[in-house]
Amino acid sequence: MTAAQAEPSAPAVEPVSLGMELLADRVSLLVLRNIFRGSHRYQQFKDSLGVSHAVLTDRLRHLEAAGLIAPCQYSDRPPRFEYKLTPKGDAYWPVIVSLWRWEAIWIRDSTATLASVRHRECAKVILPWFGCTSCGEEVGLDSPLDVGVSNQTLFDSLSRTAHRYRRAGGPSLASFASTASDGVFTVLRDRWSGLIMLALVKGLTRFSEIQKHLGISPTLLSRRLDEMTALGVVEPVVVPGRAHRAFRMLDKGGDLRPALVLTHLWANEWSETGPRADMLLYHGDHQLQPAWFCDVCGMAIVRPSVDAEGIPDYDETRLAGLS
């Protein structure tokens, strides 16, 4: 498509926006998770998620427009569709793994019922670890990861993303910010949460810096950081003699780093403008080749080699309040 043919009113979505918007959209994430577990039909989503017809239809349209799922008709009378993952949707699987793993580690609520994952190659129930296939090393919170652009360029991109949020509002997303009582969504409450965590991971620690770079309202930033503090995701840092507020990420927040990293790389690869070389991630002196590794046999795992078992879905009826 040439520039003249391009829609002037539809500016390309930056990778940061594409990734962070999806990571904050819990109904869409739960739909994707259901499809990865083998549910493909509207009624299955409806029964499992307990959201209204309006919300579910809106999110299915959104996922289709974003190119992650494609409807295919399985019945003529009445016309009924099921939803299949496109290659772009299929490539999102490692992010879903990162959210599941975080919950497996950090959700202590005994009423929560999480699926366990069995690796077919070794036939064991596993808890995968995040690593790099180039060097075989684990990628933890302290591992050096750099993007080809300067921090300032990345922050500018975050800021434009934040600006889009303020202007556009986004479909149905206002409803996600109010109640969050389940799993990873206690932390990923809205689109700001991911941006705040990215800013912390990239070394912004002061309240005033984060506020300035993201252009988020001080009241909302304060509320999100207070919630993250209460959840043990971040902690306030006292700087002697200084009046400013500062925060640092704790392990519970750091364990969401794979989700941020994988979201960033997925969004870069599948951005409508095509991948940008300067948005690739470097692990020390080489390009990061991210993968989940089996903690029992050590193999890098791929989707066809694992089965979720235990329960089909955890208690998603708690989402009913969203509709």
Residue of 177, 250, 280, 296 that binds Zn ion (CB under 5 A): 296
Q: What amino acid occupies position 39?
A: S
Choose one: 110-118, 210-218, 246-254, 276-284; the region binding Zn ion (CB under 5 A).
Answer: 276-284
Measured CA to CA, the distance from residue 21 to residue 195 in angstroms comes to 10
Nearest CB to Zn ion, comparing residues 130 and 247? 130
Burial class (CB in 10 A: 0-12, 13-18, 19+), 155: buried
Nearest CB to Zn ion, comparing residues 166 and 303? 303
Residues in contact with 95: Cβ distance below 8 Å, sequence separation at least 6, in sequence order:
23, 259, 262, 263, 266
Bridge partners of 75, per DSSP, are 80
In the block, tokens 């064991």 appear at 124
Choose one: 83-91, 128-136, 181-189, 200-208; the region binding Zn ion (CB under 5 A).
Answer: 128-136
Q: Does 283 bind Zn ion (CB under 5 A)?
A: yes
Nearest CB to Zn ion, comparing residues 187 and 294? 294
Q: Does 107 bind Zn ion (CB under 5 A)?
A: no
Nearest CB to Zn ion, comparing residues 107 and 125? 125
Structure tokens at 158: 């975050």
Nearest CB to Zn ion, comparing residues 124 and 212? 124
What is the closest distance, in whole angstroms, from the C-beta atom of residue 18 to Zn ion in the complex?
25
Q: Does 122 bind Zn ion (CB under 5 A)?
A: yes
Q: Does 132 bind Zn ion (CB under 5 A)?
A: yes
Measured CA to CA, the distance from residue 321 to residue 132 in angstroms comes to 39
What is the closest distance, in whole angstroms, from the C-beta atom of residue 279 to Zn ion in the complex?
17
Q: Does 300 bind Zn ion (CB under 5 A)?
A: no
Q: Does 280 bind Zn ion (CB under 5 A)?
A: no
Measured CA to CA, the distance from residue 26 to residue 115 in angstroms comes to 18
Ranges of H-type helices in the chain: 15-23, 26-36, 42-49, 53-65, 87-90, 93-106, 151-168, 191-201, 207-214, 218-230, 251-254, 257-270
135-164: contacts with Zn ion (CB under 5 A)? 135
Q: Does 97 bind Zn ion (CB under 5 A)?
A: no
Q: Does 6 bind Zn ion (CB under 5 A)?
A: no
Residue of 117, 221, 294, 319 that binds Zn ion (CB under 5 A): 294
Number of residues counted as binding Zn ion (CB under 5 A): 10
What is the closest distance, in whole angstroms, from the C-beta atom of residue 136 to Zn ion in the complex?
7
In the block, tokens 């089909």 appear at 312
Do 288 and 134 meet the contact criterion of CB atoms below 8 Å apart? yes
Compute how many other C-beta atoms are within 10 angstroms of the C-beta atom of residue 89: 22
What is the closest distance, in whole angstroms, from the C-beta atom of residue 124 to Zn ion in the complex?
6
What is the closest distance, in whole angstroms, from the C-beta atom of residue 117 to Zn ion in the complex?
10
Q: Does 134 bind Zn ion (CB under 5 A)?
A: yes
Compute how many other C-beta atoms are within 10 angstroms of the C-beta atom of residue 95: 24
CA distances (Å), origin 232, targets 217, 227, 249, 251, 311: 23, 9, 9, 9, 28
3-state secondary structure of 82: strand
Choose one: 43-51, 234-242, 252-260, 295-303; the region binding Zn ion (CB under 5 A).
Answer: 295-303
Interface contacts to Zn ion, rule CB under 5 A: 119, 121-122, 132, 134-135, 283, 294, 296-297
